[in-house]
Amino acid sequence: MAFCLSCGTGIDEYDSGYYARNMLCIPCYNQKISEVPMVSCNRCGMRIKRSEARERHSDFHCSYCFSEEERQAAIPTCPICNKRVESWQESAKSSKGSLAHLPCLRDGLHSAGHGAGPGVGGSPEESKTHQRTLIRNIIGRIGAFLT
Ligand SMILES: [Zn+2]
Ligand SMILES: [Zn+2]
Ligand SMILES: [Zn+2]
């Protein structure tokens, strides 16, 4: 004679599903499978099955909030105002190589105030000396050719 592990009810000999139900009677088994652990989404508070919850930074998220947060995280942050640079906003690469708002970059250059702005492709002085050495090289080569 077998007994239900949960409530101790005798299981009929002909009940072949007893072991498949983890040695529970039918009512106990049905109760057990309906007890799905639930968690609530950390973002919108929706109740979701633990098995279906997505974990993000050790918080549970419903699948909608999870993909929303993923999307948000993928959007670059303006290093000047620390706000998201949305795709519809005017933006440009900042000197650090990260995407920044175009207005923020302009303001940043104005407020910097002291001399050359940060890294706008080298100062004009530098490129002038570079040109000079180039010309000197060419003249040198022509001279060598003539002698
Ligand atoms: Zn039982
Ligand atoms: Zn949610
Ligand atoms: Zn900005």
In a domain, residue 136? The reply is no
Q: What global pTM score does this model have?
A: 0.41
Whether residue 49 sits in one domain with residue 21? no
Instruction: Tell me the residues surrounding ligand 1 (ion) with CB < 5 Å.
Output: 4, 6-7, 9, 25, 28
Does 63 fall in a domain?
Answer: yes
65 in any annotated domain = yes
Q: 17, 51, 74: which is the final residue of a domain?
A: 74
Residue 118 confidence (pLDDT) above 70: no
**What ligand is nearest to the CA atom of residue 54?**
2
Instruction: Give the CATH number, domain containing residue 55.
Output: 3.30.60
Shared domain check, 68 and 57: yes
Ligand sitting nearest the alpha carbon of 41: 2
pLDDT at 116: 47
Domain of 94?
A: 75-111
Residue 25 C-alpha from the chain's centroid: 47
Query: Is the domain of 29 the same as that of 7?
Result: yes
Nearest listed ligand to the Cα of residue 24:
1
70 & 41 share domain: yes
Share of the chain above pLDDT 90, in %: 40
The answer to whether residue 50 sits within a structural domain is yes
- The answer as to whether 127 is a domain residue is no
Alpha-carbon distance of 128 to 124, in angstroms, equals 6
**What is the CA(58)–ligand 3 centre distance, in A?**
30
Report how many domains make up the chain: 3
Q: What is the pLDDT of residue 32?
A: 86
- Any domain includes 48: yes
The CA 27 to ligand 1 mean position distance, Å, reads 6
> Domain check: are 84 and 107 in the same one?
yes
Comparing 124 with 56, the larger pLDDT belongs to: 56
**Same-domain status, 66 and 47:** yes
Q: How far is the CA of 67 from the centre of ligand 2 (A)?
A: 10
The answer to whether the beta carbons of residues 41 and 60 sit under 8 Å apart is: yes
Q: pLDDT tens, 9-33?
A: 999 888 889 999 999 999 999 988 8
Residue 120, C-beta contacts closer than 8 angstroms, at least 6 positions apart: 95
Ligand having the closest approach to the CA of 108: 3
Residues 30, 43 share a domain: no
DSSP calls for 80-100:
TT--B--TTS-EEE-TTSSEE
Mean pLDDT of 68-91: 89
> Is 103 strand, coil or helix?
helix
Residue 143 lies in a domain: no
CA of 75 to the centre of ligand 2 (A): 19
Q: What is the rounded CA–CA span in Å between residue 93 and residue 76?
A: 11
| Domain-embedded: residue 56 | yes
Would you state the pLDDT for residue 81?
Answer: 92
Among 27-31, 110-114, 116-120, the range with the most confident prediction by mean pLDDT is 27-31
